[in-house]
Structure 1
């Protein structure tokens, strides 16, 4: 389970260290930094899949993702006595991301290439990476260190250099995750690759979830929900069909979901009291379809170590939010959950869970901060040096 998430110099997240619990509820006003914190978590996930540079490119490149304010904001700037301005000896450009789990910690430092001469000079370079044992990095618990193209691994009291020719555009996870030489890197990479993100469930007439998928076992619902019927039937056969049926009845009293097979494809049918025939997936309202997608995602027979839901209340009727909160709370017993929401009714219901850890974000002089977190309240955290 993730214990700490740390972000530095990313959009409005100039320096943020956030403690995490079993069920994390991220809230805040519009523009407070919820989406930035969510994107930072996605960037960390992409380090294990080799897509961190591509994801940053989709955001406009590293230069547009960096913190745009000064390296230090003093009291006179906050009072408006002097203009906001940079420092003469500003630190080097660095977008830093990291986390700590129960067993390991990891941090990555991304910067711009030095020199030039390539059409890809705007691609971020990995300046350094570090993997350690324990809640935060110290010289005594570092296990793997990477500086530019050079990587070394601790071997008792000494360090062994394993490679000096790494690509500076790819992380450790995609280059040296070797079960013999680098078992720690492999273990952490596989854990990150199992993180699951749900934030783009479409419900328009051409939405993938309205189509009939192939009849193949699907223990994990896809990110776009295109295999909803297959995932649902998989839960019925190898998961917890009673919990699945209860989740439907909790939100839509008396309703049932049926899966029918025809010519190698699966068709979802939604039967409600008072209707003479069940509704097919193309006939469902946007809210009903999205809620069924959330039920399937949260009842997966293969729970991930971390599941992230970004504004799951979208398109849902307010009366469905208490049932959604119960669904989320129940799923947190199987996976660590990260839920980003601005729906007050959902927030109030999720907060009733004893395991709920609320992270309220707000802006102070354009910097995202955790509400109520003082200098001594944040978890201990140290970034690796270049």
Structure 2
């Protein structure tokens, strides 16, 4: 899945935002400009598709804390995405609108449709998959669009979230639901001494890192042990970051049914455990595991990936991110000009965020004008000078 366009209204600092990310996108702006809220909007969508909308709202302080300035009457999110269904290129459109009243909300409108391509040209024929408005509830099942008695436990959840099988619901609807629910948004990685990421874990077959990153060891153990290309990618990245002293990762059993991660260095007799590793080493391993995953989620978004890392690691991250963006959509949020600099030679969509009159404003940079400037300056230099935003 590729998100082509995301429109958000009334959500957090995103009063009225339209964003068009690319396969590889860098969000950059000063602290407090709303970068993290764009990633939170992606998480909002992910929870809508997963059937966790109400939990998401409560975990974020309730609907008045989620709403812009606590005062808007409506929150709307609208997504245009692209994927192939049975090798047929398809644009899908999904929108959900919430009506707010005091400390409560209800789903006012939910619409989903699709449009196929014919010889790379849009057919201009929309096929409706979900229609929910003013008491009308329709969803596309195996027999087409029809009125339904929706089997949904919580009326505060989306119709999209119930499309759990392609046999009962339209294949396009099922694929869209699965793709949105499969997105991974990484907003904080706890690497403190007592964090689970540093501890031996019950051995589990995991191929995806959870949103909190704490199952990193299980994912590394699974992929590093069974996939030779992944093993080579991790070893190459670690040697690029730490030199030829790096030997390999090892996973000795810690106790009954527990696995741990250790790093073997050529110059040391004793392997280093996760408890011995610096925050930066763990964070680098986390980033490389996410980016080198041979079966990535439908979208990867990482907030402030530069945290705790030496700038010499940034070009390595950029190289692997560019490669990962060929398999999935990759989004980074940063306020580091040095991190942005590392992507100067990449085909990257750069989005600049700013804070104006109490709301987040975003601008994508103009490609041709940006290319001309980059023959003389780096992305980071342009950002620091203020010229980057002027190109948008």
Give the shorter-chain TM-score range: 0.7 to 0.9
* Aligned equivalent of 1:108: 96
Does 2:110 match 1:132? no
Q: For 1:18-38, what per-residue CA distance to the aligned partner results, in whole angstroms no more than 9, with x for missing partners?
A: 112100111111121111111
Residue 148 and residue 279 in structure 1: after superposition, are their counterparts in 2 closer, same or farther (change >3 A)?
farther
Q: Select which of 322, 329, 335 maps to 1:336.
A: 329
Scaled by the length of structure 1, the TM-score of the pair is 0.80
The verdict on how the C-alpha distance between 1:233 and 1:165 changes in structure 2, with shifts beyond 3 A counting, is closer
For the pair 1:250 / 2:240, whether they are aligned, the reply is yes
Structure 1 distance, partners of 2:273, 2:189, is 18
SS in 1 for 2:148: strand
- Whole-Å Cα distance in 2 between the matches of residues 267 and 164 of structure 1? 46
Note closer, same or farther for the CA distance 1:29–1:247 as it changes in structure 2 (3 Å cut). Answer: same
State the alpha-carbon separation in 2 of the partners of residues 23 and 336 from structure 1: 6
Q: CA deviation at 1:248?
A: 1.1
Aligned counterparts, 1:129-278, within 5 A? 129-134=110-115, 140-147=126-133, 150-153=136-139, 160-163=146-149, 167-175=154-162, 177=164, 179-180=166-167, 182-183=169-170, 184-239=172-227, 240=229, 241-254=231-244, 255=246, 256-262=248-254, 263-278=256-271
Asked if the contact 2:76/2:98 (under 8 Å) is kept, the reply is: yes
CA separation in 1, counterparts of 2:50 and 2:364?
35
Pairwise CA RMSD of aligned residues?
2.7
Residues 1:361 and 2:347 aligned together? no
What runs of 5+ residues in structure 1 fail to find an aligned partner?
A: 71-91, 114-120, 375-386
Q: 1:282 aligns with which of 275, 300, 304?
A: 275
Deviations 1:16-73 (A, max 9, x none): 1111210011111112111111111110100011222222222222222222399xxx
Shift in Å, 1:271:
2.7
User: What's 1:29 paired with?
Assistant: 30
CA deviation digits over 1:109-131, x for unaligned, max 9? 01225xxxxxxx73421111010
Distance in 2 separating the partners of 1:106 and 1:302: 25
2:47 corresponding residue in structure 1: 46
Aligned to 2:58: 57
Secondary structure of the structure 2 residue equivalent to 1:143? strand
TM-score (norm 2): 0.79
- CA-CA distance at 1:185 after TM superposition: 2.8
Distance in 1 (alpha carbons) for counterparts of 2:210 and 2:364: 37
- Bigger proportion of residues as strand: 2
Q: What is the distance in 1 between the residues matched to 2:286 and 2:165?
A: 36
> Residues 144 and 153 of structure 1 are in contact (CA less than 8 Å); yes or no, is this contact kept in structure 2?
yes
Q: Secondary structure at the match of 1:142?
A: strand
Aligned length: 342
Quote the Cα distance in structure 2 between the aligned partners of 1:259 and 1:150: 55
Distance in 2, matches of 1:351 and 1:133, equals: 35
Change (3 A) 1:154 1:260: closer
1:182 aligns to what SS in structure 2?
Answer: coil
- The answer as to whether partners of 2:129 and 2:173 remain within 8 angstroms in 1 is no
- Which string of whole-angstrom CA distances, capped at 9 and with x for unpartnered residues, describes residues 104-151 of structure 1? 1111001225xxxxxxx7342111101011499x99543321125531
Q: What secondary structure, in the 3-state scheme, does the structure 1 residue paired with 2:236 have?
A: helix
Q: Which residue of 1 aligns with 2:299?
A: 306
* 1:307 Cα deviation after fit: 0.9
CA shift, 1:247, in A, is 1.3
Per the alignment, in what secondary structure is the counterpart of residue 359 of structure 1? Answer: strand
Structure 1 stretches of 4+ moved >4 Å:
138-141, 164-167
- The answer to whether 1:319 aligns with 2:312 is yes
Between structures 1 and 2, the one with greater helix share: 2
Q: How far apart, CA to CA, are the structure 1 residues paired with 2:364 and 2:204? A: 49
